[in-house]
């Protein structure tokens, strides 16, 4: 009698094993779409900063598995970074009321949106409209893995989550700088205000005189200084993006997206005020060049610390940095390394291997379950840049995918309950 009870258990384990193996099959169900953004035009030295709403994107209740992008020309040829520098691209999720007469769009100066437009932010930690994206990278995009391992996925399009009368849509922001024929390629990509001859921001407001470079100086249609006499054709370009996803099913384990910013001046308000902690993410910062004479191996290190309200298991991590970046690490409260992401530079001319540009960032894929961030744990983000020369408008972001549960726990749980149900039926 006892034997018989053990037997079904053994069989169950085998079945469990096969079902677990079926996670691998998610791979074969992966759907891929290769899509083109609306076109943008760039002449030598010019800048495009486009916000395209309601872009082509997979619809329905799905789990996103990866997102990659690159700049291509009208014939679909890859454009190298030394011609068109991809400063960044960002993909945001939003809800818009169905049947609106004015769809959300950007007219070059202002965001026009119907009332009811809702940005669906990632899980944190920046606030308001800052760094709320689902995806975003820059020059490193061709060489940076974004795959979410099975059985995890970024779950979107859940009809139960989308408010009644609303649709889920996606916005793509592309910021690209054409550096053909410019006097200083690095200076133009770092948006140095003097090279753009810019003293007012996009909205006509004077720029502080101590602001030497950054996004305020390289907005849409600004122009970086060209070498005298340089002439080159205007080009029509696209962002070609590849999205991979699977249809949602109950075996998919959702991950949350977090984006940390090393410029975050996190403050815990004094308890008496009862205010919630403020994350103020400035997105950009400058790197001062080190003192003359020690230019050789100077490293500028910037850090910030804050508690992560809700923790979980790290599934994926990657940093985003600009030229000059060396790498970035995220540490736990006890000093353990949660993830280190190192910049790789190209050493040639071709797209994907451009010398002096960051063409990839290494990623972290810890064995799911092996790396846990505790609820409320204080984490420290550290971003290193070479300071052999100064840099303006650099970034130090860290993108994390965190799972709050693990598949086998979930699985064991649900299998056990169905096992007991089976036993009950067997012995009924
Ligand atoms: C810079 O801008 C000013 C006006 O804002 C203009 O008078 C001047 O010619 C510009 N310089 C260059 C080099 O384009
Ligand atoms: C950043 O610099 C610090 C201090 O020198 C060093 O301990 C750390 O290993 C560096 N991290 C990376 C990713 O380069």
pLDDT of the residue at 26: 47
Least confident of 1-10, 294-303, 338-347: 1-10
**pLDDT tens column, 215-246:** 999 999 999 999 999 999 999 999 999 999 99
Q: Give the distance (Å) from ligand 2 centre to CA of residue 65.
A: 31
Q: Is 376 helix (H, G, I), strand (E, B) or coil?
A: coil
Ligand 2: residue whose CA is nearest its atom 9:
329
β-strands 118-120, 166-178: how paired?
A: unpaired
Q: What is the pTM of this model?
A: 0.87
The Cα–Cα gap between 316 and 341 comes to: 11
pLDDT of the residue at 422: 39
Pocket residues for ligand 2 (CB within 6 Å)?
Answer: 299, 301, 326-329, 340, 342, 382, 384
**pLDDT tens column, 146-198:** 999 999 999 999 999 999 999 999 999 999 999 999 999 999 999 999 999 99
Q: Give the distance (Å) from ligand 1 centre to CA of residue 216.
A: 17
Q: Is the pLDDT of residue 411 over 50?
A: no
Q: Are 135 and 239 in contact (CB under 8 A)?
A: no
For residue 340, give the ligand nearest its CA.
2
pLDDT of the residue at 424: 37
Least confident of 84-93, 127-136, 352-361: 127-136
Q: Give the distance (Å) from ligand 2 centre to CA of residue 294.
A: 18
The Cα–Cα gap between 154 and 101 comes to: 31
pLDDT grade for 295, boundaries at 50, 70 and 90: low
Q: Is the pLDDT of residue 420 over 70?
A: no
Ligand 2: residue whose CA is nearest its atom 1:
384
Tokens of 256: 């949350």
Q: Is the pLDDT of residue 352 over 70?
A: yes
313 has which bridge partners?
Answer: 372, 403
CB atoms inside a 10 Å sphere around CB 47: 22
Ligand 2: residue whose CA is nearest its atom 12:
327
pLDDT of the residue at 419: 38
Name which residue leads in pLDDT, 36 or 408.
Answer: 36
**pLDDT tens column, 15-61:** 332 333 334 444 569 999 999 999 999 999 999 999 999 999 999 99
The Cα–Cα gap between 179 and 183 comes to: 9
Q: Give the distance (Å) from ligand 2 centre to CA of residue 263.
A: 17
Q: Is the pLDDT of residue 347 over 90?
A: yes
Compute φ and ψ for 12, nearest 5 degrees: -60, -40
pLDDT of the residue at 101: 72
For residue 297, give the ligand nearest its CA.
2
358-361 sheet: strands from edge to edge: 299-308, 377-386, 325-331, 337-345, 358-361
For all residues of the chain together, what is the average pLDDT? 88
Burial zone of 266 (CB within 10 Å; 0-12 exposed, 13-18 middle, 19+ buried): middle
Written as one string, the DSSP assignment of 170-217 is: EEEEEEEEE-TTBS-HHHHHTTBHHHHT--B-TTSPBPPTT--BSGGG
pLDDT of the residue at 264: 95
For residue 195, give the ligand nearest its CA.
1
For residue 364, give the ligand nearest its CA.
2
Q: What would the mean pLDDT of 60-68 be, rounded to a whole number?
A: 98
**CA nearest neighbour of 382 among 320, 329, 306, 318:** 329
In testing the pocket of ligand 2, which one of 329, 341, 381, 383 has its CB within 8 Å of the most ligand atoms?
329
Q: Looking at ligand 2, which atom is closest to the CA of residue 342?
A: 13
């Amino acid at each position: 009698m006892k034997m018989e009870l053990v037997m079904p258990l053994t069989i169950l384990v085998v079945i469990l094993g096969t079902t677990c193996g079926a996670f691998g099959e998610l791979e074969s169900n992966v759907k891929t779409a290769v899509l083109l953004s609306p076109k943008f035009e760039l002449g030598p030295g010019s800048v495009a900063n486009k916000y395209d709403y309601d872009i082509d994107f997979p619809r329905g209740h799905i789990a996103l598995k990866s997102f990659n992008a690159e700049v291509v020309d009208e014939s679909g040829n890859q454009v190298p970074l030394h011609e068109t520098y991809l400063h960044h691209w960002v993909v945001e999720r939003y809800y818009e009321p169905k049947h609106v007469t004015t769809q959300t769009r950007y007219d070059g100066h202002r965001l026009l949106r119907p009332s009811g437009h809702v940005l669906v932010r990632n899980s944190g930690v920046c606030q308001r409209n800052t760094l709320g994206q689902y995806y975003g990278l820059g020059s490193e995009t061709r060489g940076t893995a974004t795959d979410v391992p099975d059985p995890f996925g970024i779950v979107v399009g859940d009809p139960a989550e989308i408010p009644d009368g609303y649709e889920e849509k996606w916005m793509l922001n592309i910021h690209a700088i054409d550096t053909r024929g410019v006097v200083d390629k690095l200076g133009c990509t770092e948006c140095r205000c003097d090279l753009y001859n810019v003293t007012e921001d996009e909205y006509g407001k004077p720029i502080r005189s101590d602001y030497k470079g950054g996004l305020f100086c390289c907005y849409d249609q600004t122009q970086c200084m060209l070498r005298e006499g340089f002439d080159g054709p205007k080009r029509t370009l696209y962002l070609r993006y590849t999205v991979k996803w699977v249809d949602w099913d109950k075996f998919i384990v959702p991950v949350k997206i977090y984006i940390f910013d090393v410029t975050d001046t996190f403050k815990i308000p004094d308890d008496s005020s009862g205010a919630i902690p403020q994350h103020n993410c400035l997105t950009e910062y400058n790197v001062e060049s080190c003192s003359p004479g020690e230019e050789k191996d100077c490293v500028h290190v910037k850090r910030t610390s804050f508690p992560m309200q809700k923790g979980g298991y790290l599934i994926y991590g990657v940093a985003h940095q600009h030229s000059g970046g060396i790498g970035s690490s995220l540490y736990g409260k006890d000093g353990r390394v949660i993830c280190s992401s190192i910049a790789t530079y190209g050493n040639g001319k071709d797209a994907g291997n451009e010398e002096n540009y960051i063409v990839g960032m290494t990623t972290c894929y810890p064995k799911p379950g092996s790396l846990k961030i505790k609820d409320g744990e204080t984490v420290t983000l550290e971003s290193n840049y070479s300071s052999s020369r100064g840099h303006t408008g650099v970034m130090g972001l860290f993108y994390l995918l965190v799972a709050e549960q693990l598949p086998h726990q979930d699985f064991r749980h649900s299998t056990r309950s169905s096992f007991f149900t089976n036993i009950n039926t067997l012995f009924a």
